[in-house]
Structure 1
Amino acid sequence: MPKIIGGSLSEHRRQTRSRLFAALSTLMADRGFDAITLADIAAEAGVGRTAVYNHVPDKESLLIAYITHETEQYVASLERVLEGVDEPVEQLRTYVRQHAALRREIHLAPGATLRSVLSHGSQARLREHAVLVEDVLRRILTAGIASGVLPVQALETTVPLINACLSSRAVPDDGPSRQAAIAATETFVLRAVGAR
């Protein structure tokens, strides 16, 4: 009988999933998603290969579960930070800063892009995780428009444009150049939405 990790079956499942997520992240950073197998992930996680199937049916499902988990953790953290910020423009600044502080990324190099290796169904599921983050931004912008500090605008266009800007922004790890990059990004986003 396999050894149970933790004090209960639910704790065992939680810890095993955490190990699988960590292994997936490590291996993707090293080899890329397309170059790893579930057997590789199980070995890196220190769990039996068949144990992986108790959690996910395939590698793509594990990737989607991992990205969803990471996104949910990020959104919960973002919401906690935004709790004490009342004004929409300051909320937008906070949103930009939180994105700049986000250091956990899905590393795919040196392999192919996800678009080229995932099925169409998995690509659609991958897109769903971004909606969680977009909803926060949409709420901030809607409040800004309602209060008059932002002009009326088409949020179905504005939201993806802002997130594309933030996700592609390379911010230095530390030092004065980091602060300058964050400040420039804030200024750019606030101008783009017409903040007063």
Structure 2
Amino acid sequence: MPRIAADNVLEHRRLVRERIFAAFAELMLEGSYDAISMSKLAERAGIGRTAIYHHFKDRDAVMVAFATHETSEYVAALQDQLAASDQPAERLRIYVRSHLSLGETPLHKQRGYMGFGPQVYGALPAEARQEIREHVVAVEQVLAEILERGVEQGIFAITDVGATLSLIHVVLGARHVPAERVEEFVLRAVGGLLRSEESDPLL
């Protein structure tokens, strides 16, 4: 198996984990979660079949770590985008556009940042499901804060932030609807469109 060049042990472990994550994503695209084994992951990642167990104890651990990594990366990128505005309506637009942009690659069409779907999620041990859920909550909290700020400023007409959050995520899952229509629907639903936008005949 090829050696992985690194300046130190920590960097080596990071690089190996990245290769395992890349292998996991590829195998998920090619088949199903049930078809993935640790030996297949090791072979695809270009590491030894026993070496992979130095990083993860089993396939479920790989999935949890992968989901954690992907969600952390997404939240960090999202926060960078949101820093461009302090206006709730514009921040909601950014959130919607960021989420919808995840569907632009085949891999994200299959998994999305919220997880791999109920079939895979439901097959995980309870502890693993809880770990993944904690990271999903981190994404939901970003949206909750946007909605709450909009309500405080009298921009959003929302009576139940939790229910609205869930409904928005359902709408964002409508991948066959044009992104601009989804964005328009969400902003109108919360009362976040500006009057000038509402008078625009193109909307």
Residue 28 of structure 1: aligned partner: 28
3-state SS of the aligned residue for 2:50?
Answer: helix
Unaligned runs of 5+ in 1: 173-180
1:100 counterpart = 2:100:
yes
Q: TM-score, structure 2 length as denominator?
A: 0.83
1:170 counterpart = 2:164:
no
Contact 1:32 1:107 in 2 (8 A): no
How far off is 1:98 after superposition?
A: 0.7
How far off is 1:184 after superposition?
A: 0.5
Residue 139 of structure 1: aligned partner: 145
Unaligned runs of 5+ in 2: 112-117, 194-203
3-state SS of the aligned residue for 1:49?
Answer: coil
Residue 182 of structure 1: aligned partner: 179
Aligned positions, number: 184
Residue 126 of structure 2: aligned partner: 120
Structure 2 CA distance for aligned equivalents of residues 4 and 116 of structure 1: 35
**What letter matches 1:27 in structure 2?**
L
**What letter matches 2:140 in structure 1?**
E
Residue 188 of structure 2: aligned partner: 191
Which runs of structure 2 are paired with 1:20-59 in the superposition (5 Å)? Answer: 20-59=20-59
Mean CA deviation greater in 152-161 or 43-52? 152-161
How far off is 1:116 after superposition?
A: 4.4
CA deviation vs aligned residue, 1:11-68 (integer Å, no higher than 9, x gap) = 1001000000000000011111111101100100001122222221111111010011
Structure 2 CA distance for aligned equivalents of residues 171 and 75 of structure 1: 24
Residue 85 of structure 1: aligned partner: 85
Structure 1 CA distance for aligned equivalents of residues 24 and 144 of structure 2: 31
CA deviation vs aligned residue, 1:92-138 (integer Å, no higher than 9, x gap) = 01111111111452737xxx921343223322222222111111101
How far off is 1:81 after superposition?
A: 0.8
RMSD value over aligned CA atoms? 2.2
Residue 5 of structure 1: aligned partner: 5
How far off is 1:145 after superposition?
A: 0.7
Instruction: Describe the shift of the 1:17–1:123 C-alpha distance in structure 2 as closer, same or farther (beyond 3 A).
Output: same
Identity %: 39
**What letter matches 2:110 in structure 1?**
H
Structure 2 CA distance for aligned equivalents of residues 140 and 15 of structure 1: 35
Q: TM-score, structure 1 length as denominator?
A: 0.85
How far off is 1:143 after superposition?
A: 0.8
